Structure 1
């Protein structure tokens, strides 16, 4: 394990060192126990009763097991501490990453790092330190005892042991690439499972057959193929290793060598017996090597994935943050392109925004319109610094948003997204999310402003009704009105609306637009809209096409002077009069 890999355990390094020290002392006691057993047999063979040896054996055995248990206790406590530290650290790191990077990694891969990889590291930290101490200290103790009995014979045992370890090292080297492939394949399975479960309603509605499992089956087949190829590749070496790491090869080696040395009277039968006992103990201590290397390889892949997340660049934060005193917004020649990272280079896709330049005066209402994919919602995401712009500058009150602390930037903006996300708590918890010390009266007032209160009081638990995972127990319109109530409650100076009435029926849409008129008072408002009827009263309308601004002005000005807007308005009016004919 490299120094970089060991650094991840630094928060619990002191506790792990204590675990290893206790394990080394315990293994010294273990070798002493073996020597005492040999001494007992020697005294019995000479007709003496080994009183002292038996008492010493009892004491050493108690001390050995006490130290061994204490050593494992320390490493397990450290593992639990590290698991908590890493999950907190990774969660904080992910929260500081650009949203684009988080979406690129994917929920499946992130959940694998936070759950599976951290757990794999927990297993490594809990077991590896005492195992490492045993694996490295015991052979030293045993070889010292063997050298004391017969130095040439001990040298031969050392050479044979090194040969076995060399075989193990070759096996481990072949397994490193497999660990990487294994982790990537498992991450794809996690992503497919999460996607399948979250999209269950769509799966059942549009595809109830076997193809609904397509992506999951493909990921599982890929994983199975990797496992099969690996098992075929390591079949011979695995059989060889399992054979070498048993007492039998060492026994055969020692008996053969001992017979030769005994024939030349270079070793006594009792010394040969002592060697057999200690050498069997040496082989026993080699088994921790196998477990240790296995743990290290599993942990190596997990540590690398954790390090990759922790090494990702965060949103830049100004060392001298500023806070705007005014709340006008200015987009200055803003360009943006999503980035697709490959192994060696960064390939940029087609630009989403190109040279967008406009201002939003304080306490005004600006609407952004355009076809799907023209970059409307991206403008809001850039203003919130979910991504950083490629070129240009975005300012609030004359202050570049990069010079505003991210948490302060968020505190200036209330947002209603088109894709509403609710937490799996109660209605009250979701309405009050992000706002501290909210009174019940204020919460109810916000719900009434969003025309949600009358629905809530019909529920058996009222405001304490659980919304289910991702708000699945509420309809799309109800979820949207709940997030609107949240925006009412936050009452921040900047209001960003991304299709706020997308899931509302005609009656509720009119009510919500009336409510928004109240909410917009004395706020800087940017609304992304498809329904042009909702934005005719806007102070200005920004019309985007393929990431470029093609028109800017009020509804009346654009109808009078902008050909693209005139065509869009005419198409919208015609669409409102479309009627589906009865099928015959």
Structure 2
């Protein structure tokens, strides 16, 4: 076992040791079975039937012990594998929750699914099968050679030399597979990502793509996978055939036959010992196949471990200790010369500064790509600022515990994410709330009447990502969740972007109730919804170019005046008849 395999298996090390010891004991019993069978042959040759009966009874008892130990070893390893799966998935899920959201999006749904599902499962296969295979691959040959050296050490030495040559050849042939394994895993991950993207985007594919290009990326990834596989098969053809020949029983048996004949003719070994060598040495060949299986499991799991370590090695958001953590004295917000860039690229925000007084309403406007969403994503520390600071009250948010920071803020995002559970469970997701409290929140969000028209009411399952609901209905469920949270800071990211006029009116009515006595930051593209804001912050290309009330900006900011004129013109657009 390599160091990386040993380290990742540390949580279940005791189980694996127990499984390995039982597997090795089983192999010792197996060796005892072979020797007992030889003993029966010897005593029968001497017509000693009493000993034959006793050895047969011992053979039966030893067989029971052997199979019991073997089954127990497999059971222990499999229990350990399931336990490790649970530990790793919990550990990885906890790690993902600590990473900046952008890192998670960079890895992508397909990449995350591969690590959490495929890679962890690949480790399950290794952990469940490795201890028994290891016992057969290593313990069996050792026990066999001990017996062989006891009976005839010169002959055993010759067999050992032959097996060493075969083993070294096997290692050289297997070493060539490591580079291929990396290419294979990368190609397979590409196929997985393409499948996930294709399925998730099915509605778009059907609406916009009626030809072969709908499968374009999927086809390309499959072709790449086939190229990798075919290229590898072409390279290993000769080596694979050589391996199959060398690691079959025929070469060793031929070697034993030739060498045994020479030793027997020179009176260096008697017939019964030669027979023992033929019978027991065959077990060496049998142990080569478990060795090859173990090597395959090691290589498959090695790539999975590397990806798991890579994810766990990612730097999460720096946390302060409980002793150093601070709590804000009020819920005002300050962006103090905030700059931000993704991975040392072009700055998305540059020296942005503004204050949001406690219990006030600040709206953020600007064209697409101006940095609006990035600005509010910095507040819950989905990313950390590159320069400057964000303060709640008089406390830098980096000096607050992450869970405490999140307890101060409620979010209603443009793309409302709902889970495939019931409406009730979605409203009180992550909260300890009664059904009555959830219903009251739904009433405040103007969604209760709709819920009651459903056959199962609040117990209605809404499908994956809430696909059985309209965009406005999903948004109002998210608002109900925010009502239930009732946190002092409220962040709204273009919450009416995809609403029609009727739904927008319902949403704005809900927002007005939700915003009472809260510090509110709202991104808006419909300027009519934020005319009454206490403050409007206007961003352009990551820079703050104007701030003030709607009336003040109309008087003092040419950029805002133009934005307002453009907005009013778009409201009067009509389709030509």
- TM-score normalised by the shorter chain: which range applies? over 0.9
CA shift at 1:276, angstroms?
0.6
Which residue in 1 is equivalent to 2:327? 323
Q: Distance in 1 between matches of 2:94 and 2:56?
A: 57
Which residue in 1 is equivalent to 2:265? 263
Q: Distance in 2 between matches of 1:515 and 1:30?
A: 75
Judge conservation of contact 1:480–1:503 (CA < 8 Å) in 2: no
1:26 matched to 2:21: no
Residue ranges of structure 1 left out of the alignment (5+ in a row): 340-347
1:491-506 aligned at under 5 Å gives the runs 491-506=486-501
Which residue in 1 is equivalent to 2:118? 116
TM norm structure 1? 0.96
Q: Distance in 1 between matches of 2:310 and 2:351?
A: 33
Which residue in 1 is equivalent to 2:135? 133
Which residue in 1 is equivalent to 2:171? 169
- For residues 263-310 of structure 1, give each alpha carbon's deviation from its aligned partner in whole angstroms, at most 9, with x where no partner exists: 222222222211111111221122211111111111111111111111
Which residue in 1 is equivalent to 2:349? 353
Q: Distance in 2 between matches of 1:411 and 1:482?
A: 19
Task: Give 3-state SS (helix, strand or coil) of 2:143's partner.
Answer: helix
Match of 1:566 among 549, 561, 566: 561
Match of 2:503 among 508, 513, 525: 508
Which residue in 2 is equivalent to 1:527? 522
Task: Give 3-state SS (helix, strand or coil) of 1:108's partner.
Answer: helix
Q: Distance in 1 between matches of 2:509 and 2:54?
A: 96
Which residue in 2 is equivalent to 1:344? none
CA shift at 1:207, angstroms?
1.2
- For residues 81-113 of structure 1, give each alpha carbon's deviation from its aligned partner in whole angstroms, at most 9, with x where no partner exists: 111111111111111111111111111111111
Which residue in 1 is equivalent to 2:189? 187
Residue ranges of structure 2 left out of the alignment (5+ in a row): none
- For residues 245-265 of structure 1, give each alpha carbon's deviation from its aligned partner in whole angstroms, at most 9, with x where no partner exists: 211111100101112222222
Q: Distance in 2 between matches of 1:78 and 1:515?
A: 51
Match of 2:455 among 453, 460, 463: 460
CA shift at 1:350, angstroms?
1.7
Q: Distance in 2 between matches of 1:511 and 1:104?
A: 36
Match of 1:450 among 440, 445, 449: 445
1:164-313 aligned at under 5 Å gives the runs 164-313=166-315
Task: Give 3-state SS (helix, strand or coil) of 2:390's partner.
Answer: strand
Q: Distance in 1 between matches of 2:7 and 2:37?
A: 42
Which residue in 1 is equivalent to 2:64? 62
Q: Distance in 2 between matches of 1:32 and 1:507?
A: 83
CA shift at 1:45, angstroms?
2.5
Q: Distance in 2 between matches of 1:233 and 1:523?
A: 67
1:341-420 aligned at under 5 Å gives the runs 348-420=344-416
Judge conservation of contact 1:447–1:485 (CA < 8 Å) in 2: yes
- For residues 304-358 of structure 1, give each alpha carbon's deviation from its aligned partner in whole angstroms, at most 9, with x where no partner exists: 111111111111111121121200001111111112xxxxxxxx32211111111
CA shift at 1:210, angstroms?
2.1
Alignment size in residue pairs: 573
- For residues 134-161 of structure 1, give each alpha carbon's deviation from its aligned partner in whole angstroms, at most 9, with x where no partner exists: 2111111110111111111101111111
CA shift at 1:579, angstroms?
2.1
Which residue in 2 is equivalent to 1:80? 82
Which residue in 2 is equivalent to 1:342? none
Which residue in 2 is equivalent to 1:345? none
Which residue in 1 is equivalent to 2:573? 578
Q: Distance in 1 between matches of 2:128 and 2:165?
A: 29
Judge conservation of contact 1:113–1:305 (CA < 8 Å) in 2: yes
1:429 matched to 2:425: yes
CA shift at 1:511, angstroms?
3.2
CA shift at 1:512, angstroms?
2.5
Q: Distance in 1 between matches of 2:441 and 2:499?
A: 18
TM norm structure 2? 0.97
